[in-house]
Structure 1
Amino acid sequence: MAVQSWVDILKLSKKTALIHDGKRKIHYLFTDGKEMAEEYDLKTDELIVRKWRHKSTLGAQGQWQMEVGESLTNPVISLDSDVIKENCSNPVFIRKDTKTNFQWRIRNLPYPKDVFSVFVEPSERCIIIKTSNKKYYKKFSIPDIDRSHLPLETSALSFTHSNNTLIYKKPKEILTLEQELLKELKKLKGTSEGDIDCKTQ
């Protein structure tokens, strides 16, 4: 049986569009029950947010998992709470794409550039970032590349020390796919926030 391409999976999904706050928000419901939500900047058409939600084995709605962008909702924890909270000075790894690049930033990692080692691990289809002082190690894949079954290319990878930014140049297949998808999304009749009838109180 032929494996469905990511383009076909996207085409078969049920899509809902909403124009709100200078953003085009798209909700996808896939045939397997997974959900994806994306937000695009209306002026630049750049992807700001992509997140996923899966149902649990018992059918309950799971939490949204960020793929692109950062979650702005931090749980409010009272001061007398026993909950263990992540240290706000810990390194924060965030993906923020541009039109031509996949891009990641690492905040709170104040080391000089020569401490960092960044490389592609083709056998594991991942990128590894590590520091020679053993203070940081991160191994991650690029879901877009995996979904399109494309190889990871070392030549597409670069690392700039300003904002600790890791850049991976989007392959032409991804650029073509994104342009085609954007054309389709722009055809969706998106309601603007004033059109929504909020009956739930």
Structure 2
Amino acid sequence: MAVQCWADLLKSSRKTALIHDGKRKIHYLFTDGKQMAEEYDLKTDELIVRKWLCKSALGAQGQWEVEVGEPLTAAAAASVDSEVIKENCSNPVFMRKDTKTSFQWRIRNLPYPKEVFSVSVEPSERCCIIKTSNKKYYKKFSIPDLDRSQLLLDCSALSFTHANNTLIVSYKKPKEILTLEQELLRELKKLKGTSEGDVDCKTQ
């Protein structure tokens, strides 16, 4: 079963834990060389950040790609390279911020009324689509968690709300994902998490 394959990959990865600033930070090194980093809130156990570091086609070290959490904006890059042109702060900002029971996406800077939006699932393309009747916004996005576990998309799991110029799209996590996340969290809590400054990180 695909869910089990992904679970096995997570278990077989080399994991390093770090406790810092109220967060449990986990670094995964997979057998194929890919790296994943996650951050969990120590109090709530909610996932705050997940990002991937993949090698380029030529084998060079690539850049971190954010899957969950605040996107790496041009403004953030500009602090590293002052020549970078800053992103227009009024542009829509798409980011994923999950809850315990749902995958959730927030798109800021969308000042249109709720009735303008439609959110749908395209099972054949394995993606969700957000569009507006006024043709001002269109976004197609996948749910990597479902892809990794090869689970089908369910139209009834999708819902959305709109407030304060922000569209919030939720997709209820299937029971297979909830079970996997609970099992993984139990494993992560067993890792000997070192504190910031302690270099001798224990790996599994």
Say if 2:29 is the partner of 1:29.
Answer: yes
Say if 2:186 is the partner of 1:183.
Answer: yes
Distance 1:76 1:170 in 2: 36
Give runs of aligned pairs for residues 188-199 of structure 1, distance below 5 A.
Answer: 188-196=191-199
8 Å Cα contact 2:78/2:86 also seen in 1: no
Distance 2:35 2:173 in 1: 24
Give runs of aligned pairs for residues 33-72 of structure 1, distance below 5 A.
Answer: 33-71=33-71
Distance 1:149 1:10 in 2: 15
The equivalent of 2:78 in structure 1 is 76
Give runs of aligned pairs for residues 1-201 of structure 1, distance below 5 A.
Answer: 5-71=5-71, 74-76=76-78, 81=83, 83-162=84-163, 163-196=166-199
Structure 1 position 72, deviation (Å): 5.9
Unmatched 5+ stretches in structure 2: none
Distance 2:142 2:72 in 1: 23
Structure 1 position 195, deviation (Å): 2.0
Q: Deviations over 1:174-200 (max 9, x none)?
A: 000000000000011111114237xxx
Describe the SS at the equivalent of 1:76: helix
8 Å Cα contact 2:66/2:72 also seen in 1: no
Unmatched 5+ stretches in structure 1: none
Describe the SS at the equivalent of 1:5: helix
Structure 1 position 77, deviation (Å): 6.3
Distance 1:117 1:65 in 2: 27
- TM-score, length-normalised on structure 2? 0.89
Distance 2:5 2:135 in 1: 39
Distance 2:186 2:142 in 1: 27
Count of residues in correspondence between the two structures: 195
Distance 1:66 1:194 in 2: 25
Paired residue type of 2:199: I
Paired residue type of 1:192: S
Higher relative CO (CA 8 A, sep ≥ 6), structure 1 or 2? 2
Paired residue type of 1:75: A
Distance 2:97 2:79 in 1: 27
Superposition misfits of 4+ residues, deviation over 4 angstroms: none
Q: Deviations over 1:82-116 (max 9, x none)?
A: x4443221100010000001000000110001110
